[in-house]
Amino acid sequence: MQRELDATITFSDEQGMLLDTATEFFRAKSPSAAVRAQLETPAGFEQAVWDEMVGLGWSGLAVPAEYGGSGLSLAEAVTITEPIGRHLCAVPFLSTQLFVQGLLAGGSEAQKSDYLGRIASGAIGTVALLEASGDWDLTRASCDAVITDGVVHLSGVKTLVTDAATAELLLISVRCAGAPALVVVEKAQLSAPSLRREIVIDETQRSYRVDLDGITVPAAALISGAAALGALAAIRNGALLLVSAAAAGGTAGVLNLMLEYLDTRKAFGRKIGSFQALKHTCADILIGLERARSHVYHAASLIAAGRNAEVALRMAKAEASDAFAFAADRAIQFHGGFGFTYECDAQLYLRRALWLQYAFGDAAHHRKHLADLLLPKAG
């Protein structure tokens, strides 16, 4: 465990180039006006932007070359996710990468060859893991999968499934013969009534309730046994890393928004950015941002090296989500009365911060697990 905590953070030239390219890309493609325009659209994102990302090889970034992808890792995916969060872009990149991680860890060769090749070509994927209980332990699914004559019969309801309406492929957690399992469901196998849009705090997200009752898929679409447990662990690790990266990016974005306002708004004949109390808060936010980014890239370095990253991932999630929520809350306050209006972009960041804060476990949840991992047991 100590070796994990002492690991050096690595950041390759390739990661640096990807980060620079992605930062410029999302700065140009996802200004505030574009984000707001997509709030009223069914998909929630601009298809042309996703198509450009596919053309750049980003959808298949972590897909091995033998399946048509770029053959990179989640460490490189972080460099795309961070500017996505910074500019509040709603493209289904994170959902798709979690689908990829699940298939890579637990999918059969036939499943990888079919599904991952489609992802690399631009198909959108997502994962359906949560249920009404809100349990963050991904192995505790209560939706059922029953195999009869080579056909898997599904039942139950999944909730908070992001990008479900636009995804061609869904990786769904279930219980099969009393054990955790996963099943790949294609969009064509879902009926229109199976999907119901949910109202969530972040209006840039498209979240759905997915009713599995009556849905059947071939047995070849099932992932069970040790492969399923490995896939669920990989999805959890990927989610913690990428959600933390998005939160760190969001903190940078909202800090930039605050600084622009502080350098414009005047009170008592001075720019309010000259007031010491506001400077101190901005310094606190910057420290939180740098701390969060350090944790994110530490965890990414461990994953890229094939090492145990559970402690680093949980620390990154706790730090990054708290830092973003604090920064976004202060942005509302700094903007005064205007900050509480829908027209102020600070509320867009606060909504995203609150969404990410609870995605795959909040800070209290991960600190509880960190206590178990790091502190000696009494007695």
Q: Residue 336 sits in a domain of what CATH number?
A: 1.20.140.10
Q: Does one domain contain both 272 and 201?
A: no
Would you state the structure tokens that stand for residue 21, as one six-digit string?
């390219």
Q: Does one domain contain both 234 and 342?
A: yes
Q: Residue 11 sits in a domain of what CATH number?
A: 1.10.540.10
The predicted structure's pLDDT at residue 249 = 98
Domain endpoint, select from 174, 205, 225: 225
> pLDDT-based confidence at 4, cuts 50/70/90?
very low
Q: Does one domain contain both 7 and 91?
A: yes
Is residue 379 assigned to a domain?
A: no
The pTM score is 0.94
Domain tally, the chain:
3
> pLDDT-based confidence at 277, cuts 50/70/90?
confident
Q: Does one domain contain both 255 and 360?
A: yes
Is residue 57's pLDDT more than 60? yes
Q: Does one domain contain both 340 and 218?
A: no
> Rounded to the nearest 5°, which phi and psi values hold at 326?
-65, -45
Q: Does one domain contain both 235 and 370?
A: yes
Q: Does one domain contain both 221 and 233?
A: no
Contact present, 282 and 259 (Cβ < 8 Å) = yes
Is residue 7 assigned to a domain?
A: yes
Mean pLDDT of 183-207: 93
Q: How far apart are CA 196 and CA 160, in angstroms?
A: 10
Q: 275 lies in which domain range?
A: 228-374
Q: Does one domain contain both 107 and 78?
A: yes
Contacts of 174 (CB under 8 A, 6+ apart): 141, 143, 144, 145, 154, 156, 180, 181, 182, 183, 212
Q: Does one domain contain both 360 and 307?
A: yes
Q: Residue 209 sits in a domain of what CATH number?
A: 2.40.110.10
CA angle 221, 192, 92 (to 5 degrees): 65
301 CA to centre of own chain = 18
The predicted structure's pLDDT at residue 158 = 97
The predicted structure's pLDDT at residue 25 = 97
Q: Does one domain contain both 32 and 117?
A: yes
Contacts of 38 (CB under 8 A, 6+ apart): 44, 45, 46, 90, 204
Q: Which residues pair with 144 in a beta bridge?
A: 155, 175
Domain endpoint, select from 124, 153, 186: 124
Is residue 182 assigned to a domain?
A: yes
Sign of torsion, CA 324 13 92 44? positive
Contact present, 219 and 184 (Cβ < 8 Å) = no
Is residue 348's pLDDT more than 80? yes
Q: How far apart are CA 345 and CA 341, in angstroms?
A: 9
The predicted structure's pLDDT at residue 379 = 56
Contacts of 165 (CB under 8 A, 6+ apart): 42, 43, 195, 197, 206, 208
Q: Does one domain contain both 233 and 221?
A: no
Q: Does one domain contain both 160 and 104?
A: no
Percent of the chain with pLDDT over 90: 84
Residue with tokens 């990253």: 309
Is residue 244 assigned to a domain?
A: yes
Smallest CA-to-CA distance from 240 within 362, 68, 90, 112 is with 362
pLDDT tens digit sequence for 240-276? 999 999 999 999 999 999 988 787 876 777 776 667 7
Q: How far apart are CA 123 and CA 116, in angstroms?
A: 9
Domain endpoint, select from 97, 124, 151: 124
pLDDT tens digit sequence for 69-126? 999 999 999 999 999 999 999 999 999 999 999 999 999 999 999 999 999 999 999 9
Mean pLDDT of 144-150: 94
Contacts of 318 (CB under 8 A, 6+ apart): 363, 366, 367, 370
